[in-house]
Amino acid sequence: MINIIFVLGGPGSGKGTLCKNLQQDGWKHVSIGELLREHSKKDPKTNQLLKKGNIVSSMLSVEVLGKYLDTLEDGTKLLVDGFPRNESNWESLKQSNIMYKIHIHCIIFLETTKEIMLSRILKRAETSNEKRSDDSIEIFENRYKLYLENLKILNNPDIKHKLITVDSSCFPENVYENVKQIILMI
């Protein structure tokens, strides 16, 4: 079994930063967005969806996640950043063979304000070596709208009983320390 923590939150909520910090504790990190951006290099339709900040099909998200999981050893501790984003993602995951390969440790939801998310996105666009086509105000607004539309996934009973909400408005080091303590208690 692969031990998984799903890490959810809006664009710029700190998912990637938290996951990078947790790697020092033996967790591997994969971003569904990164897997999809890699896939989009061979798929123009997916590339166009991602460039506009739109969500791809749940089947594709589950497919790229499944291919990645196939490369991991049994017992791996994995942080999955940005999945499941919506009810369709969750249902596709539940119907896939992936569920036989994983144990869901918990689901962490990083909560912060729209203003903080936007400021982080703009700072990343300005300072990061990793240039992302979705780091602009226009794309952020679309991604944020989709994020709000899909927040209802947090009310899904399967998700709700594993859900841990963490305020990610503070410094990344504080978020990391808070989550680290939560993981140790589970």
Total domain count, the chain:
1
pLDDT digits (tens, 9 = 90+) for 12-31: 999 999 999 999 999 999 99
Please give the residue that has the higher pLDDT: either 92 or 43. Answer: 92
CB 105 within 8 A of CB 5: yes
The domain of 86 spans: 2-185
Angle at 119 between CA 27 and CA 177, to 5 degrees: 30
Mean pLDDT of 88-102: 96
The answer to whether residue 3 scores a pLDDT higher than 70 is: yes
DSSP codes, the chain: -EEEEEEEE-TTSSHHHHHHHHGGGT-EEEEHHHHHHHHHTS-HHHHHHHHTT----HHHHHHHHHHHHTTSPTT-EEEEET---SHHHHHHHHTSGGGGTEEEEEEEEEE--HHHHHHHHHHHHHH-SS--TT-SHHHHHHHHHHHHHTGGGGG-HHHHTTEEEEE-SS-HHHHHHHHHHHHHH-
CATH number of the domain at 87, please.
3.40.50.300
Mean pLDDT of 98-122: 95
Counting residues of the chain whose pLDDT is more than 90, the rounded percentage is 76
The answer to whether residue 124 scores a pLDDT higher than 80 is: yes
The answer to whether residue 89 scores a pLDDT higher than 70 is: yes
* Residue owning tokens 């408005």: 169
- Band (168; pLDDT cuts 50, 70, 90): very high
- Band (90; pLDDT cuts 50, 70, 90): very high
- Band (93; pLDDT cuts 50, 70, 90): very high
